[in-house]
Structure 1
Amino acid sequence: MINADDLIAIDIHTHAEEPCCGHRDDGYDEFQAGMANYFRNPAGKDGMLPSVQQTADYFRERKIGAVIFPVDAERETGFRRYSNEDVAEICAENSDILIPFASVDPWKGKAGIREIRRLCRDFGVYGFKFHPTMQGFWPNERQFYPIYEAIQDEGKIALFHTGQTGVGSGMPGGMGMRLKYSNPMAIDDVAADFPDLKIIMAHPAFPWQEEALAVCQHKPNVYIDLSGWSPKYFPEILVKYANSLIKKKVLFGSDWPAITPDRWLSDFENAPFRDEVRPLILKDNARRLLNI
């Protein structure tokens, strides 16, 4: 198990992108090349992305704990998902550094609910990642509420992508991705209707940053992670709130492998965060939320 005292930080947002078994689906290379262009990251352009085991090795060397998850968006993208079970099993083999989350496409309904309960009880996952734009759904539609109810019942965390996404950026029609689904105000309804469900809103939520801050400040069960952006580009109001009203609800996240912790942490050193807030963001808030 992770010993948080030995870590310098906990990265709440890393991706399992490279399938450990089988070949990539048709179109997946183009999709990853588009992501690499968006983030100016050679990974995905020049070959295979890091495996979950390689991710563990990278983070262990840096003494950074990592929440890692795949994204199940089979309905919208047609790409077969990376097995939640595979990710969880590799995490179990690297439990000193990796923290398993999972992803279940909310359109899977009752089958998804059964999978959520099984992953919680048999594989020890800590939470579930949702990507409203990539999965093509409004988070506050009532048909998806049984999914959240299952996660709440199991005492796990729901992590929602918010704001613009690099997924499909620059591709024809944005690869069919609709940004509207990731407006954080939809998360406000979920947080109100499931007050015991711990929710993380991922990323600075451009162009809805103030909406995200309002939801986080207003709902005790909502947190914000800072993944997907270099800290040198953070909006001034985000830094202002992180330094004050929501300082115990802001979490370090890199968005690995799109952005490396090395790059993120280097830029964080020069960002205008208060000295007393930095350890909260880097580790203490995540440690309390994850109960580790």
Structure 2
Amino acid sequence: MLDLSRLRAIDFHTHAEEPCGCHADDGYDDLQAAMARYFRAPWQHPPTIDETAAHYREQNIAAVIFPVDAERETGYRRYANEEVAEATSRHPDILIPFASIDPARGRMGAREARRLVADFGIRGFKFHPTMQGFYPNDRMCWPLYEAIAEAGVPALFHTGQTGVGSGMRGGNGMRLKYSNPMHLDDVAVDFPDMPIVMAHPSFPWQEESLAVAVHKPNVWIDLSGWRPRYFPPILIQYANTLLKDRVLFGSDWPMITPEGWLEEFAGLPIRDAVRPKILKENAMRLLGLSSANERKEIP
């Protein structure tokens, strides 16, 4: 049960990692090590879901947490959504479970999405076009989007270039073109009632991201994957004004710690009335949670 009145923030972007050594030796450890160097992450091995929950509980921050189903494109073994949901269910006071399904799974993926929402309490879905190797506006995605729209839960999309594959030979085979936020404009048109969250400051397409979010009222932005001191001024300007009700705190744990992100965010020129919206209130509204002075159990 989330005690929303006591939480100081809701982190909308954290990654579920398997215990080191529990997955096949398929190169995933090399990717994680390269990302840790890029972000200067403070851990030796990626934290488990239980370790993530303990860290966030200590920080008094709730976390949306998810895997990434990139098995087809990368060869990295899929961390099953059911496993993630079951692990997350041990920490209902602090973790909010999302799932991830490769859109190339087609109608099978759509059936899985419906089952995960109905039977496992999944609250949203994560997509990573760069890792999963697809354009978000490819019509093959539509059956899965239809299932998500029916469920009324958010679809969270990686956008822009962050640290994944950075510095690795050939970028680890990952193509940045898939994560241009403008591809999501088509999705927002055809699924106007599906909440769409564009993750990260969308470098090098920041203005495209802002344009889509301003134009399409079902589109949101999370601020994960970048330390706040690097946010471009135009992003801060829009977060303070036109998009103040649709911008979300996100860290990109475990690469960036929530407390480190919040410390830098405190130094940004964000208006006093807007700051609590970004840190917690917007996420509460998007997730359909109760007001800050009530307790609500996530089903």
TM-score (norm 2): 0.94
Give the alignment of 1:271-286 within 5 angstroms. Answer: 271-286=268-283
CA distance, structure 1, for counterparts of residue 219 and residue 27 of structure 2: 35
1:65 maps to: 62
In structure 2, what is the equivalent of residue 7 of structure 1? 7
After superposition, the C-alpha distances for 1:218-256 in whole angstroms (9 at most, x for unaligned) are: 111010000011111100000000000000000000000
Cα displacement (A) at 1:42: 3.9
User: Which consecutive unaligned segments of at least 5 residues does structure 2 have?
Assistant: 290-299
3-state SS of the aligned residue for 1:68? Answer: strand
User: Against the structure 1 CA distance between its residues 123 and 195, is the aligned structure 2 distance closer, same or farther, given a 3 Å change threshold?
Assistant: same
How far apart, in 2, do the equivalents of 1:176 and 1:28 lie? 13
Q: Which residue does the alignment assign to 2:184? A: 187
Q: State the one-letter code of the partner of 1:233.
A: Y
Runs of 4+ in 1 over 6 A off after TM superposition: none
Once the two structures are TM-superposed, the CA of residue 22 in structure 1 deviates from its matched residue by 2.9
Paired with 2:199 and 2:108, the residues of 1 have a C-alpha distance of 26
Q: Distance in 1 between matches of 2:19 and 2:126?
A: 17
Deviations 1:95-137 (A, max 9, x none): 1110000001111112211111110000010000000011000
1:13-24 matches, within 5 Å, as 13-19=13-19, 22-24=22-24
Tell me, yes or no, if structure 1 residue 200 matches structure 2 residue 186. Answer: no
Partner of 2:296 in structure 1?
none
Query: Is residue 108 of structure 1 aligned with residue 105 of structure 2?
Result: yes
TM-superposition CA deviations, 1:162-210 (whole Å, max 9, x none): 0013111111110110001000000011001000101100000000000
Per-residue deviation, 1:21: 8.3
Contact 1:15/1:68 (8 A) holds in 2:
yes
**Equivalent in the alignment of 1:39:** 39
Q: Which has the higher contact order (CA 8 A, sep 6+)?
A: 2
Equivalent of 2:166 in 169, 174, 178: 169
Q: CA deviation at 1:20?
A: 8.1
The answer for the alignment partner of 1:52 in structure 2 is 49
Distance between the aligned counterparts of 1:107 and 1:269, measured in 2?
Answer: 41
The separation in 1 between residues aligned to 2:65 and 2:270, in whole angstroms, is 26
Distance in 2 between the 1:215 and 1:115 partners?
29
**1:277 and 1:253 mapped to 2: Cα distance?**
16
Matches within 5 A, 1:121-270: 121-270=118-267
In the alignment, residue 54 of structure 1 is paired with which amino acid? Answer: E
TM-score (norm 1): 0.96
- Bigger drift between 271-280 and 24-33 goes to 24-33
**Helix, strand or coil at the partner of 1:13:** strand
**One-letter amino acid of the structure 1 residue matched with residue 133 of structure 2:** G
Q: Distance in 1 between matches of 2:269 and 2:79?
A: 38
CA contact (8 A) 2:67 2:81 kept: yes
SS in 2 for 1:50: coil
Q: Distance in 2 between matches of 1:250 and 1:115?
A: 29
1:75 alignment partner in structure 2: 72
- What SS does the aligned partner of 2:125 have? strand
Deviation for aligned residue 1:86: 1.4
Q: Distance between the aligned counterparts of 2:194 and 2:151, measured in 1?
A: 10
Residue type matched to 2:239 in 1?
A
Alpha-carbon distance between aligned partners in 2 of 1:154 and 1:37, rounded to the nearest angstrom: 38
Specify the code of the residue in structure 2 equivalent to 1:241: Y
Q: CA deviation at 1:23?
A: 3.5
Quick check: 1:16–1:68 contact (8 Å CA) kept in 2?
yes
SS in 2 for 1:37: helix
The separation in 2 between residues aligned to 1:41 and 1:58, in whole angstroms, is: 15
**What secondary structure is seen at the aligned counterpart in 2 of 1:22?**
coil
Rounded Cα–Cα distance in structure 2 between residues aligned with 1:28 and 1:62: 28
Q: 2:84 aligns with which of 84, 87, 92?
A: 87
Distance 1:192 1:210 in 2: 19
How far apart, CA to CA, are the structure 1 residues paired with 2:109 and 2:146?
Answer: 12
Q: Tell me by how many angstroms 1:143 deviates.
A: 1.5
Gaps of 5+ in 1: none
CA contact (8 A) 2:103 2:140 kept: no
Counterpart Cα distance in 2 of 1:256 and 1:121: 27
